[in-house]
Chains A and B, each alone.
Chain A
């Protein structure tokens, strides 16, 4: 039987009360949301905490998808199922629905959350790649209600490591809305619900004349980080969308990533996928931006 080592269970009653607990308990405490990454790690003693602070009771406060001005704001406790089912989110950022369809399975998606996925900071995790692709901003709240807003590059420090401090909490993800946008996500997995062998997200923004004003590609499972690839963006900006351009972007993606050979595939195969999936997602993103 696999069970976590003993810990004290605390229940959050508000965001600020949870942060107060974190402030008092320091690194011996951890927030738990859906728990579908944290609890398995605690069962295996890969993670050990003296205190778990259950933030599920904050769903009414932190579970939302809300357009505010020129961005869409998503509460950190919004569950995968809610992200998948939101027509509003799918209309603004179809990449989300593409990704949510292939994240874990429907039952797991009833529990797992956006904030939990990002805070887990697993390099194979899909929503980190999605948020990187969309140039998301992460709102981190600390003691005394102090908030800071960081980019995904700043948020994702390294594998399983984020910018969120011991006494802080990720509360919201902000996605900038820009005109002429289209986005897409593709994942290759060995079986339904598995981690990605490789996955790729792409977002493009087209000018009125059809040229690319900006584009971003985010890859998952091809190295320690899921950061975007600035060289791809630079190669696409100002250009007319075309097959040879996607080919060029795919080649840049393949040589910019750093995959490792493991049970999911060889490094060469993963580079091939980075190339192919970059082309496919750019193609779909452009088609969606035009429609």
Chain B
């Protein structure tokens, strides 16, 4: 079957199998390997991308379900050479060690800040409660999101 969707503001059309999962469509068909593929059971959250602006676990969404919709991946966070404040925050506050969970964490946290520009630590932890960091870096992830929140507010 043929699907057409907008990925990071670019319209793409591809011939796919109905069973193809969105995570594999992004990584293998479009070579957008920033989205990671982890547990395959919608538990770990490293595959989080946006579907029409909402974070979803792309290992549990069919690529066909995104037909006609808008997808955004971690590659679509920066504006040209300018990093998103979330990305900057993860750099400034050591929000990652191995980096495996990072793309999913950043997509979820960006969506959180879009809805709630000044979240509490508890709200950040709730937002990422469906995502696993095996370097046990949750404290620094929370700090990174706070950094982005504070700097975004200051730059407005």
Q: In the docked arrangement, what's the CA distance between A32 and B65, Å?
A: 10
**Complex contact B65–A56 (CB within 8 A):** yes
Closest CB-CB distance, B26 to chain A, in whole Å?
14
Point out the residues of chain A lying under 8 angstroms from B65, CB to CB. 35, 54, 56
Point out the residues of chain B lying under 8 angstroms from A43, CB to CB. 40-41
Closest CB-CB distance, A10 to chain B, in whole Å?
9
CB-CB under 8 A for A3 and B21, given A54-B64, A107-B45, A107-B57: yes
CB contacts under 8 Å to B, within A183-223, are 192-193
Closest CB-CB distance, A104 to chain B, in whole Å?
7
- Is B18 part of the contact surface with A, judged by Cβ < 8 Å? yes
- Type the 1/0 row for B48-68, where 1 means its CB is closer than 8 Å to any CB of A: 100000111100111011010
**Complex contact A107–B1 (CB within 8 A):** no
- Which size class do A's interface residues fall under? 20 to 34
CB contacts under 8 Å to A, within B50-99, are 54-57, 60-62, 64-65, 67
- Is B43 part of the contact surface with A, judged by Cβ < 8 Å? yes
Q: In the docked arrangement, what's the CA distance between A10 and B125, Å?
A: 38
Cross-interface CB contact of A107 among B18, B40, B48, cutoff 8 Å: B48
Q: In the docked arrangement, what's the CA distance between A11 and B62, Å?
A: 12
- Is B9 part of the contact surface with A, judged by Cβ < 8 Å? no
- Is A147 part of the contact surface with B, judged by Cβ < 8 Å? no
Q: In the docked arrangement, what's the CA distance between A149 and B144, Å?
A: 51
- Type the 1/0 row for A84-115, where 1 means its CB is closer than 8 Å to any CB of B: 00000000000000000000111110110000
Point out the residues of chain A lying under 8 angstroms from B127, CB to CB. 106
**Complex contact A40–B42 (CB within 8 A):** yes
Closest CB-CB distance, B134 to chain A, in whole Å?
14
CB-CB under 8 A for A107 and B56, given A1-B40, A6-B19: yes
**Complex contact B130–A108 (CB within 8 A):** yes
| Nearest opposing residue in chain A for B18, CB measure | A9
Using a CB–CB cutoff of 8 Å, the interface residues on chain B facing chain A are: 1, 17-21, 24, 40-43, 45, 48, 54-57, 60-62, 64-65, 67, 108, 126-127, 129-131
Beyond A54-B65, A106-B126, list 9 extra A-B contacts (CB 8 Å): A3-B21, A3-B24, A32-B62, A36-B57, A40-B60, A106-B55, A106-B127, A107-B48, A111-B57
